[in-house]
Amino acid sequence: MSESVLSLTRLYKRFGALQATHDVSLDLQPGEIHALIGPNGAGKSTLIGQIAGSLRPDEGSVHLAGKEITALNVSQRARLGLGRSFQISSLAEPLSVMRNVMIGVQALQGHSFRFWTPVSRDESLQAPAREALERMRLGHRAWTPVSELSHGERRQVEVACALALKPRVLLLDEPMAGLGPEGTAQLTELLEALKQEVPILLIEHDMEAVFRLADRISVLVAGSIIAQGDSATIRRDPHVREAYLGD
């Protein structure tokens, strides 16, 4: 457990009468994809909020690379190496793909209070951004406004933005949402190639992708994790079948 990159320890979060997170513990090991699945309303978003820093847990702790980050906010966690993508695209639409990715590189370099040098000629910003885009096979779209991209391309840009942070952990919130079979297959392939470098906590609805990609799966139902294991175990688990897979 000590070597896990990201670990949640006994998280609780309550909204009024609703116990949105109930005693959730999970961890992410180097080189793995850990998938978090669960039906709608299971508390996935609440849990993501607590990992990313937009929500504080009532109890429990979050550690990133051995460091406690429970009290840190979104941008502090990002600076410590937590890269995330959003379920609903959170890109700045009028700007080019490059500009969206470059902001991450800029954050990584930590020099946002520079007022004079134009970014448009700053290779130290552009080269890493281009590299992140190439990894997502979007190099040819670098200077296209995000508003002109297809849905699938936007999902890839989201991941590229997270990659630009050179994160220790990727937190991907339904990256396949709204993608066709082709887009899903492509993204699955890209993520598979990525996991050796950056472990991924994947929140996903697409079961096929999850079973193909995930080394381990945690199933969240009504705020609690009811099962954890590799895909074969999860497929066989009677509670999971009942609660989620619908047989």
Enumerate binding residues for another protein (CB under 8 A).
Answer: 52, 73-76, 78-79, 84, 86, 90-96, 98-100, 102-104, 106-108, 111-120, 122, 125-126, 130, 139-143, 145, 161-162, 164-165
Give the residue with the Cβ less far from another protein, 52 or 136.
52
Number of Cβ within 10 Å of residue 10's Cβ equals 13
Give the residue with the Cβ less far from another protein, 25 or 45.
45
Residue 131 CA neighbour count, 13 Å, CB half: 12
Q: What is the DSSP string of 119-158?
A: GGG-HHHHHHHHHHHHHTT-GGGTTSBGGGS-HHHHHHHH
Tell me how far CA of residue 226 lies from CA of 42, 47, 62, 169, in angstroms. 11, 15, 20, 24
Closest distance between another protein and the C-beta of residue 78, in Å? 3
Pairing of strands 59-64, 6-15: antiparallel
Report yes or no: 32 and 195 within 8 Å, Cβ to Cβ. yes
Closest distance between another protein and the C-beta of residue 5, in Å? 17
Give the residue with the Cβ less far from another protein, 167 or 223.
167
Give the residue with the Cβ less far from another protein, 55 or 221.
55
Give the residue with the Cβ less far from another protein, 94 or 181.
94
Give the residue with the Cβ less far from another protein, 96 or 231.
96
What is the rounded CA–CA span in Å between residue 127 and residue 78?
20
Closest distance between another protein and the C-beta of residue 204, in Å? 19
Q: Which of 79, 126, 135 is nearest to 101 (CA)?
A: 126
Tell me how far CA of residue 220 lies from CA of 29, 176, 230, in angstroms. 19, 19, 15
Closest distance between another protein and the C-beta of residue 202, in Å? 17
